[in-house]
Structure 1
């Protein structure tokens, strides 16, 4: 049995903004009723602001919750901000989803992207047009393209068939595309790298801090110093304006830790001293 957050249960039991909008400015769809999950989202946009959003969905509780919270996320937001919402943002807003249900947040994001494409029509939308129109469809049951699977494998560090199925839902119906998905995993999944020695790890972390992290902090009058490393725990000291900033914890977790995890090891934990 999967464990759901209180937010998921709340949005499932008390979904917000269910329904449709007459004369909606943007309508987006994702999924397929024939294959078990479907979502239609309606947006009302005035002066570049999403003033209302509603949804109609057919699917599991996670699909309902993802759709419900997505409408809350977009209402009152400028379209330019809405364009930046990702499926991970949807899952995070729900305080997380079980890995087996991440495809529900993906469906929400796909419906939002489809709505924005329809709203902007022929305009160039680099932020929205994440899927290349010529990309080959791998999973015909859910119309999931090779590019979508490739991006999931690379950006979410997926390494197994089950992870890809859970995240994208590709291969979860008839299963005929699973061999193709395995081939994409073999092609794009990050292979395990040899474990670094303590000295190599220190040098690599220090290089990332000096060449990537510190320059960004210095732009705002801040800086950072590497103090110590114990296993995967990296102790740092913020300097300059960063040391007095009320958002220092956010800087450590959202920028420093995320950067080191992306560049070196996903298990790194950054501690401010």
Structure 2
């Protein structure tokens, strides 16, 4: 017997005829729930692709902004990720522009969501495997999550370089 929560989840994910067919063909409810979970993850990637968060640019001349631009020569994807850091070393905003496939756009969108509110050291710990696992990227698209990790690191390095120049200019 399925719980009410499981039935509600299935109703949200499938239309009634499709749900009936799915239940008929998959007598093992755990298999059906696993397929529904996979579809929800797939919708998560599509959502980040179709409705990317934090698209745009920050002021490149602002000394509190770090910019990372990375690319993948094999597929032509290019990713620009920017962070804005407050006086306490906390990332208060992040923007991106990505020219590439849906997985690259989704990885960029997710990366900007994750870096917001983090310290510089916390943001530096975001790894491509975590992004790939969250988005359930297939092996052929792992380079997209690697680009996101590299863009974060490049933005952090750019910010640190700008801060060093700013400190030298004050002296």
Question: Could you state the TM-score of these two structures normalised by the residue count of structure 2?
Answer: 0.65
Counterpart CA distance in 1 for 2:158 and 2:70 is: 13
Counterpart check, 1:36 vs 2:73: no
Q: How does 1:189-268 map to 2 (within 5 A)?
A: none
| Structure 1 match to 2:161 | 121
| Structure 2 match to 1:16 | 53
Contact 2:72 2:147 in 1 (8 A): no
| Structure 2 match to 1:104 | 144
Higher helix share: 2
* Displacement after TM superposition at 1:111 (Å): 0.9
Counterpart CA distance in 2 for 1:44 and 1:59 is: 24
Structure-2 change in CA distance of 1:45 and 1:108 (3 Å): same
Structure 1 residue ranges (4+ consecutive) displaced by more than 2 angstroms after TM superposition? 32-35
- RMSD after superposition: 2.2
Extract unaligned runs of 5+ from structure 2: 1-38, 164-171
Identify which of structures 1 and 2 has the higher relative contact order when contacts are C-alpha pairs closer than 8 Å and 6+ apart: 2
| Structure 1 match to 2:102 | 61
| Structure 2 match to 1:88 | 129
| Structure 1 match to 2:118 | 77
Contact 1:5 1:97 in 2 (8 A): no
Counterpart CA distance in 2 for 1:16 and 1:5 is: 17
Counterpart CA distance in 2 for 1:77 and 1:83 is: 9
Counterpart CA distance in 1 for 2:43 and 2:95 is: 22
Contact 1:63 1:104 in 2 (8 A): yes
Counterpart CA distance in 1 for 2:83 and 2:120 is: 10
Question: Could you state the TM-score of these two structures normalised by the residue count of structure 1?
Answer: 0.41
* Displacement after TM superposition at 1:32 (Å): 5.4
Higher strand share: 1
* Displacement after TM superposition at 1:93 (Å): 2.6
Tell me the alpha carbon deviations over residues 19-56 of structure 1, each in whole angstroms, 9 at most, x when there is no partner.
00112520001105895210000100001110000000
Extract unaligned runs of 5+ from structure 1: 124-273
